[in-house]
């Protein structure tokens, strides 16, 4: 991980690290007898984390990450690492990145001035309070004149090249008649390239499962 990465980037990169470890279980591609057996194998030795440190996790920790992801996706993997727990519900990713941008360009702006600027630019709504912005600024130590905000790269985590990482997700689609003519729920499974945002695969299925995901991935490749 680059030393110039801001705390928000660090939290996102750590979430990607966690996702990489639990992905075989989420996609049902592990070869062990059970998910826990897979977790025990990958935690037998210390793991190298994005910040360059090494740490030996317990199998139950990875199981906990899996549960968090199934409940709330990638954002849930960031939650425990972030100091601004609860603030993310009010501040979108775009708003958070814009705060970093404003504090770099105008380091003497206070929370009230930042909120007014975000409001005037349409980045946030009036529902976001000054206190919310202030809590975020305090949580990430974005003090007035702090050198920590003089960062060149304020983007969220992104792979450097096409094909470096693909992300997949699914969502509900309307009911349509199946092969027996019975109205059935459909699911859109989609795979997107992280760097280019190109949709490399997308199909509708009657089942949201690993088999259909794998068949889509084969077509995408």
Q: How far apart are CA 205 and CA 55, in angstroms?
A: 40
Whole-angstrom Cα distance, residue 65 to residue 72? 10
Is 154 within the bounds of a domain?
Answer: no
Choose among 84, 83, 74: nearest CA to 20: 74
Q: What is the pLDDT of residue 212?
A: 92
With respect to residue 197, please indicate whether it lies within any of the assigned structural domains. yes
pLDDT at position 187 over 70: yes
Strands 183-193, 199-205: pairing kind: antiparallel
- Taking CA atoms, 6 is separated from 2, 69, 191, 192, 208, in Å, by 9, 23, 28, 25, 36
- Shared domain check, 93 and 62: no
Let me know if residue 158 belongs to a domain: no
pLDDT tens-digit map of 36-93: 999 999 999 999 988 888 889 999 999 999 998 998 888 888 854 445 454 556 788 7
Tokens 């299925």 belong to which residue? 205
Domain annotation covers residue 156 = no
How confident is the model at residue 38, as a pLDDT?
Answer: 95
Single residue among 79, 112, 133 that ends a domain in this structure: 79
Please state the pTM of the whole predicted model.
Answer: 0.39
Average pLDDT over residues 21-50: 92
Contact by Cβ (8 Å): 211, 189: no
Question: Is a pLDDT exceeding 70 seen at residue 3?
Answer: no
Helices (runs of H) and strands (runs of E) counted in the chain: 7, 5
Phi, psi (rounded to 5 degrees) for 176: -135, 160
pLDDT computed for residue 143 by the predictor: 56
Top-confidence range, 42-51, 95-104, 135-144? 42-51
Q: Which of 55, 79, 103 is the last residue of a domain?
A: 79
According to the model, what pLDDT value does residue 87 have? 52
Half-sphere exposure of 168 (CA within 13 A, CB side): 24
Q: Kindly state whether residues 17 and 35 are assigned to the same domain.
A: yes
Q: Confirm whether 198 is domain-assigned.
A: yes
Determine the average pLDDT of the residues in 148-160: 51
- Same domain for 92 and 75, yes or no, is no
What's the mean pLDDT when you consider all of the chain? Answer: 82
Are the C-beta atoms of residues 54 and 95 closer than 8 Å to each other?
A: no
In-domain check, residue 157? no
Q: Tell me which residue range forms the domain holding 138.
A: 87-149
- Residue range 198-213: average pLDDT? 91
Are 100 and 70 part of one and the same domain? no
Q: For the chain, what is the domain count?
A: 3
Give the pLDDT confidence score for residue 190 in this predicted structure: 92
Q: Helix, strand, or coil here: 19?
A: helix
Same domain flag for 71 and 11: yes
Contact criterion met (CB below 8 Å) for 188 and 159: no
Q: How many CB atoms lie within 10 A of CB 151?
A: 16
Please indicate, yes or no, whether residues 75 and 113 belong to a single structural domain of this protein: no
Same domain as 14, residue 73: yes
pLDDT score of 160: 76
Q: What is the pLDDT of residue 79?
A: 52
Q: What's the confidence (pLDDT) of residue 5?
A: 55
pLDDT of residue 202: 92
Instruction: Indicate whether 189 pLDDT > 80.
Output: yes
DSSP 81: T
What is the mean pLDDT of the segment spanning 172-180? Answer: 87
Burial class of residue 113 in the structure, from the number of CB atoms within 10 Å of its CB (0-12 exposed, 13-18 middle, 19+ buried) = middle
Interacting residues of 68 by C-beta distance below 8 A, sequence separation 6+: 76, 77, 79, 80
Domain final residue pick, 26, 55, 79: 79
Residues 182 and 204 in one domain: yes
User: What per-residue confidence (pLDDT) applies to 97?
Assistant: 82
């Amino acid at each position: 991980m680059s030393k110039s990465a801001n705390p928000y980037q660090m939290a996102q990169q750590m979430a990607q690290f966690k996702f990489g470890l639990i992905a075989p279980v989420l996609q049902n591609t592990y070869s062990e007898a059970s998910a826990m057996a897979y977790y025990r194998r990958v935690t037998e030795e210390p793991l190298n984390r994005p910040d360059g440190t090494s740490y030996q996790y317990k199998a139950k920790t990875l199981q906990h990450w899996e549960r968090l992801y199934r409940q709330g996706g990638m954002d849930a993997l960031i939650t425990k690492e972030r100091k601004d727990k609860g603030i993310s519900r009010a501040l979108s990713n775009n708003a958070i990145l814009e705060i970093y941008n404003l504090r770099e360009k105008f380091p003497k702006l206070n929370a009230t001035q930042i909120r007014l600027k975000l409001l005037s630019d349409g980045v946030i709504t009036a529902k976001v309070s000054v206190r919310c912005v202030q809590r975020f600024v305090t949580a990430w130590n974005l003090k007035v004149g702090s050198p920590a905000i003089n960062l060149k790269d304020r983007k969220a985590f992104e792979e450097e090249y096409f094909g470096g990482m693909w992300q997949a997700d699914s969502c509900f689609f309307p009911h349509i008649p199946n092969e027996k003519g019975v109205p059935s729920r459909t699911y859109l499974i989609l795979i997107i390239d992280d760097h280019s945002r190109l949709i490399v695969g997308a199909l509708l299925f009657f089942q949201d499962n690993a088999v259909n995901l794998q068949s889509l991935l084969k077509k995408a490749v």
